[in-house]
Amino acid sequence: MPARNRSNGKTPLAVSGWGTAYLLATFAVVMLALTAGYVVFRTYTPPPSAAPPITPEVRQFTLRMQRTEAGEKTVHHWMPSVLVVNVGDSVILKVTNGDPETSHGFVLSAFNISVPAIAPGQTETFRFRAGRPGVYHYGCSLTVCAPDHADQTGQFVVLGNP
Ligand SMILES: [Cu+2]
């Protein structure tokens, strides 16, 4: 019992002195931790995104209605069946009807694009800006073109954050 060995009666003061020292030490540690946290917070920069920022471009596509004989059946489809752009891109779409016998139309309603009929071998050109990200559908707008009219569809994909 060290407190009992001290005879000068200063034990309570000494204890209180140690208490103050502990208090100061604790305070110093807390302040150090806060300061370190603040410095880390101030100097922290989030890692750059893996994807580079999107710069709008002009993109031109050739879209062709293809007619294919499949045994007894004749099938029609768009080539390519998927187009991908970045949001903000200016799109030039050259739509050709490659079906030598039948007219087909073209519709991409999300961008107000619609033409009732493109004669065999003819090309229509559309220009628009891909302003909204999303997955949109294009298709043939001439409902009487062929029995597989409903299958004449494709996807127009606009990448980006809304
Ligand atoms: Cu068609």
Residue 55 C-alpha to ligand 1 middle, in angstroms? Answer: 35
In this structure, are strands 58-70 and 90-97 parallel, antiparallel, or unpaired? Answer: parallel
Q: What percent of the chain has pLDDT over 70?
A: 87
> Residue 8: is its pLDDT beyond 60?
no
Q: How far apart are CA 46 and CA 27, in angstroms?
A: 31
Kindly give the distance from the C-alpha atom of residue 125 to the centroid of ligand 1, in angstroms, as a whole number: 17
> Model pTM?
0.67
Mind listing the pLDDT tens digit for each residue in 114-149? 999 999 999 999 999 999 999 999 999 999 999 999
Whether domain 58-159 has CATH 3.40.50.720: the reply is no
CA of 86 to the centre of ligand 1 (A): 28
Q: What is the pLDDT of residue 23?
A: 86
Distant-in-sequence, close-in-space partners of 67: CB < 8 Å, separation ≥ 6 = 74, 75, 76, 98, 99, 100, 101, 102
In Å, how far from its chain's centre is CA 34?
A: 38
**Across-strand partners of 129?**
90
CB-based contact 158:133 (threshold 8 Å):
yes
Residue 12, classed as helix, strand or coil, is: helix
Structural domain boundaries of the chain?
A: 2-43, 58-159
Given a contact cutoff of 8 angstroms between Cβ atoms, the answer to whether 52 and 112 are in contact is: no
158 alpha carbon – ligand 1 mean position (Å): 24
Q: Determine if the peptide bond prior to 80 is cis (ω within 30°).
A: yes
- Inform me whether the pLDDT recorded for 53 exceeds 70: yes
pLDDT at 58: 97
Better pLDDT: 56 or 45: 56
Q: What is the mean pLDDT of residues 35-43?
A: 83
